[in-house]
Structures are given as C-alpha cells and as structure tokens.
Amino acid sequence: MDVSVLTPSFGYARFISDAIRSVVLQESLKVEHVIQDGASTDGTTDVLDRYGSLGWVSEPDTGQSQALNRALARAGGRWIAWLNADEFYLPGALARLVEEGDRSGADLVYGDAVFCDEHGRFLRGLPQHRFSPFVLQHYGPYISSCAMIVRREALEDRPFDESLRVVMDHDLYLSLAANGGRIRYVAGGVGVFRVHDERVTSGPEDDYRDEREKLAARYGFSTGSLSRFAGRGLHRLLKLTSGAYFRQMSSRRRRGADLRWFEEAAHPRADVTP
C-alpha cells in the first residue's frame, strides 16, 4: 500500500462524501482511506455505509488526536496522509507528493493548500515556500495538514499527542524537525481546506495560545512578540523570493470556481488545480 489517508470525523455528514470521493479517485497509487468517526449522530455513519469497501469505525473518542492514532493503528501504507472529513484533495495530488518523497528520501513532503467555502467554491490559494525550521517555530504551522504526507516510520515512535486538541499538526512538524527529519516542499495545490463555522480547529483563541506555549516549552523557542515578528518577516521574505506571493495573487481570478472536480457538474479537471 502506497498511502493511507487518515480521516478523523465527527458531525460532518454533509461534507464527508467529498473527502471520500477525492481519495478514491486519486490516480497512479495504491491508496486506502481509514476513517475514524467519533460516534457521530448526524447521519455520518449512514453516509459511510454507502461506500461498501471503505474501512471505517465509529466510536467515542477524546478528540481528534486520539482519532488519528486509532486510524493510524489500522493503516497499512508506507506513507501517511491526514485529511479531515470536511476537506478534499485535488486530482493527482498524492502522487506528486509520493514521487518527491521517494525521489528525495524525505520524511515529510508538503505542497500548497487551497481555501474553499462550505459549498466547495474557490476562496483563495495559499502557496508556500521551502521548509524553514525558524518559520515553523516563530511564525507557526504554515504547512497545511491536508497538503502533506509523512513517512510511516516517522510516526511509529512518536504518534499524535493526545493531550493536544488544536496544535497537533504543529507538534508533528516540530518533532520531525527536532529529530533530524527531512522535510521537502513541492509547489502546487494538494488539499482543499473548507472554511465554515463548524470546524474543530475554529475554537477559542485561548486554547490555541495555551497549546502553543506548551509546544514552545517542549521545543525550546520563544513566543514573544519579537520572535513572532522575526518569524513572520522571514515567512514573507521566503514567499516573496520564491514567487509564492505572485502565484497567490494570480489565483484570485478563480474566486468562486467550483473545486469539487469529482462531481460530474464541476468544472473540467484541467481547471481545478491553482
């Protein structure tokens, strides 16, 4: 198995079919979709039942991190991807990441995320830049979880921290970097992040701030205003010099375009990748 896509799910019955179809239609790879639902009562399991060959479990959990670990325990892929139930992939996205990971020997490969509204319509692109440990520490988790894959071995000794409810992605990236992990960037859209009012990570700002302080203590970096200013400055410089800002501005012409390429009524496949 090339890739196992882990999907933690809770209360996203109206979105999860998009995630499933975007995984099923990924080409040139052997991909399995491992869904861990947190005992949803909104009809999510009825949706999952419609996909006969899908591997899913629905049971109570303590949060997204525990759901990810339970899905990881059932996964058989040499690469692990993380796609939330309200997100979806662009066509050919996983194959591009795996190709770069196999070529370079990287432990984690990431690309660009795209933002859409609740109906799957393009809001904005978010092109990134080559990996920077300094930006990761002092600016934040600029790598989008829906736009990356991580080598399975990198997670075996260090699974997701179940004490974290908001910044478990940041913790994963910081842990890899601190332990000498090789992290590579591939330009181009990979995952689509859906903006809506029910997102799990749209919680109180205090939760994010408290957990970020916990990571700062764990990995030895400052969260002071000067450090954040420096991190933000380098992030912007790298985006400018890499052409990411130009690509971001150019993508604005696509605002409102339907990104749900797996729907027959959606725009042609050639027009969905920013």
CB atoms within 10 A of CB 41: 10
Residue 205 has pLDDT above 80, yes or no: no
Q: How far is CA 118 from CA 14, 196, 202, 212, 272, in A?
A: 10, 6, 14, 28, 17
Residue 212 tokens read as 């970020």
Residue 271 has pLDDT above 60, yes or no: no
pLDDT, residue 55, reads: 87
Tell me which residue of 49, 262, 106, 19 sits closest to 5, measured CA to CA: 19
Residue 37 tokens read as 């639902």
Residue 272 has pLDDT above 80, yes or no: no
Mean pLDDT computed over every residue of the chain: 94
pLDDT, residue 266, reads: 47
pLDDT, residue 207, reads: 86
User: If pLDDT is split at 50, 70 and 90, which confidence band does 159 have?
Assistant: very high
Domain 3-271, architecture per CATH: Alpha-Beta Complex (3.90)
Per-residue pLDDT reduced to its tens digit, 90-143: 999 999 999 999 999 999 999 999 999 999 999 999 999 999 999 999 999 999
Residue 187 has pLDDT above 90, yes or no: yes
SS3 205: helix
- Residue matched to tokens 């302080």: 213
Tell me which residue of 34, 211, 197 sits closest to 140, measured CA to CA: 211
Per-residue pLDDT reduced to its tens digit, 17-66: 999 999 999 999 999 999 999 999 999 999 999 998 898 999 999 999 99
- Residue matched to tokens 């000794």: 157
Residue 269 has pLDDT above 50, yes or no: no
| Length of the chain (residues) | 274
- Residue matched to tokens 């890499």: 242
SS3 33: strand
Contacting residues for 30 by C-beta, under 8 A, at least 6 apart: 1, 2, 3, 77
Asked if 88 and 191 count as a contact pair (C-beta separation under 8 A), the reply is yes
Residue type, 102: D
Residue 169 tokens read as 């992605």
Tell me which residue of 68, 85, 88, 118 sits closest to 16, measured CA to CA: 85
| Residues of the chain above pLDDT 90, percent | 89
User: If pLDDT is split at 50, 70 and 90, which confidence band does 206 have?
Assistant: confident
Tell me which residue of 227, 222, 148 sits closest to 184, measured CA to CA: 148
SS3 178: helix
Residue 85 has pLDDT above 60, yes or no: yes
Residue spans of alpha helices (H) in 126-224? 133-138, 152-156, 168-178, 205-219
pLDDT, residue 201, reads: 54
